[in-house]
Structure 1
Amino acid sequence: MVCDAEVVSAAGRRIRRWIPDQHGAWAVLAVPYAAGVLLGDPVWGQLPLFAAWLLAYLAAYHAQQWLRLRRLSRNPRAAARHVRPAVVFGASLAAVGLPLAALHPWLLLAAAAMSPFLAVNAWHARVNRERALRNGVAAVVPACGMLLVALRLGGGTLAEGLGPALACLLYFAGTVPYVKTMIRERNSSAYRRGSVAYHACALVAAALLDPWLAVPFALYLARAAVLPGRGLRVPAVGAVEVACSALLLAFVVAVF
């Protein structure tokens, strides 16, 4: 029994070393993509697209951690432990993504459009400012752009996807300052005011995209105004955001 527990514990540590514990990232990776699939005609090619998207995130995460720790850590092993995951995930991305790009060459243009945002994230990692507000927003933009990619692969058009992608961007960009008010900047009144002001503007912008979107965005504004300072634990904050993300997906698919 002790040996089995040790094996499970060792396996868990290995998984944690390879899979980031940035739980909020998974919603922004999945929801815009899922919206793009559901708004178009689902096709089998969207499955390897999603696999390539997740592999790209994992490879980029470990490459950025290598950049950060190589510069900051006095322990060479701290940076070195990210090399193998970066290489494995990068090679897997090539194995999945290159055949898909051969079938749909326009995907290379989509990847090129996302690369400046990846460069911004890499720079912030190198200077150890990954938690900067602009870095979070830079990460959100290409994630929301995946809605356009998934929709296009399913036969939709960029014009059809623009409104849904903007709705996703309005929500997920708002999660960057809001989550800070709940955790790292929970004592900052300036962050709270800024978060509430952003969500008020996002409510107006979302209503202009479609009046029905005022419903979820009014709830997002309420949570930004009411929940900070309530002492919610991190799992509770995450659960609220999962529910908000699911609500966004439901409304985006319903109204567009």
Structure 2
Amino acid sequence: MSRSGWLPNQHGAWAMLAVPFAAGTFLGHPRWAHLPLLGAWLLGYLAAYHAQQWLRLNRIARNPKAPRRHVRPALCFAAGSAACGIPVAVTHPWLLLAAACAAPFIAVNTLYAYRNRERSLLNGLAAVVPACAMLLVALRLGGGAWGTGVAPALACLLYFGGTVPYVKTMIRERDSRAYYRSSVAYHAVAVAPAACLSPWLAIPFALYLLRAAALPGRGLTVGVVGAVEVLGSLMLLGTVLAAF
């Protein structure tokens, strides 16, 4: 958490939330409606985070004050998300269906939070799916066709799905050879489907494979790891916008 206690320090999550949304927005036609949708999306994430932390701490914390500090942020962010989202949902009712499709994945994240297993690999992968699907939502809001967004959304899914095991090899599972081998194997396999989506994607995905193989075990700080991932995310965004 930040010093204010309102913003989570999950830096990688922000790229995952922003890049697919930005890709969908600019692959279509940017509209003013994208701004309240983005607000609803980001504030909704923050509301869900604090609600899940409240649920988790209510189960495991001995100090009753620990879960209470998440109540006010959860309510404020939820209100802000609703204020941004309801007007755009009124004019675009299909957004409610999109929200319903995301609900099962949010339920999985909530269950893992309740069990105090938020760092689980499967929990991270469950969070990636709705984030990447926001590319389709933003694209459709801008007048684009669903079908044209499938390939770039899959490219985002391939990349952000790979960041889950890779980041673990850099921080929490830095000493696990099994995680390292699995991460490298995933990135090696991902190059081929990425190239099938677009030959241009072979370039960044080859670089993602290189970083997955070369960087673990070098003692990089969390800040450097985050900076590398920001660059990787921007590389993905630029390639997706150029290729599609």
Aligned partner of 1:62 in structure 2 is 50
Which residue of 211, 217, 225 maps to 2:199? 211
- Deviations 1:106-126 (CA, angstroms, capped at 9, x unpaired): 000000000000000000000
Say whether 1:13 aligns with 2:35: no
Say whether 1:228 aligns with 2:216: yes
Which residue of 80, 83, 89 maps to 1:95? 83
Matching residue's letter, 2:202: A
- Structure 2 matches for 1:112-127, cutoff 5 A? 112-127=100-115
Which residue of 37, 42, 45 maps to 2:30? 42
Whole-Å separation in 2 of the counterparts to 1:235 and 1:98: 37
- Structure 2 matches for 1:1-256, cutoff 5 A? 13-14=3-4, 17-256=5-244
Matching residue's letter, 2:31: V
TM-score, normalising length: structure 1 = 0.94
Aligned pairs, number: 243
- Deviations 1:172-193 (CA, angstroms, capped at 9, x unpaired): 0000000000000000000000
Matching residue's letter, 2:232: C
The Cα shift of 1:13 comes to: 2.8
Aligned partner of 1:6 in structure 2 is none
The Cα shift of 1:157 comes to: 1.1
**In terms of Rg, which structure is larger?**
1
The Cα shift of 1:137 comes to: 0.4
Whole-Å separation in 2 of the counterparts to 1:83 and 1:59: 9
Whole-Å separation in 2 of the counterparts to 1:92 and 1:234: 31
Aligned partner of 1:8 in structure 2 is none
Whole-Å separation in 1 of the counterparts to 2:187 and 2:221: 22
Whole-Å separation in 2 of the counterparts to 1:44 and 1:85: 27
Matching residue's letter, 1:82: H
Matching residue's letter, 2:3: R
Whole-Å separation in 1 of the counterparts to 2:22 and 2:150: 15
The Cα shift of 1:248 comes to: 0.2
Matching residue's letter, 2:162: G
Matching residue's letter, 2:112: H
Alignment RMSD: 0.7
Whole-Å separation in 2 of the counterparts to 1:13 and 1:129: 24
The alignment partner of 1:110 has SS state of: helix
Overall identity of the aligned pairs, in %: 69
Matching residue's letter, 1:199: H
Whole-Å separation in 1 of the counterparts to 2:149 and 2:236: 15
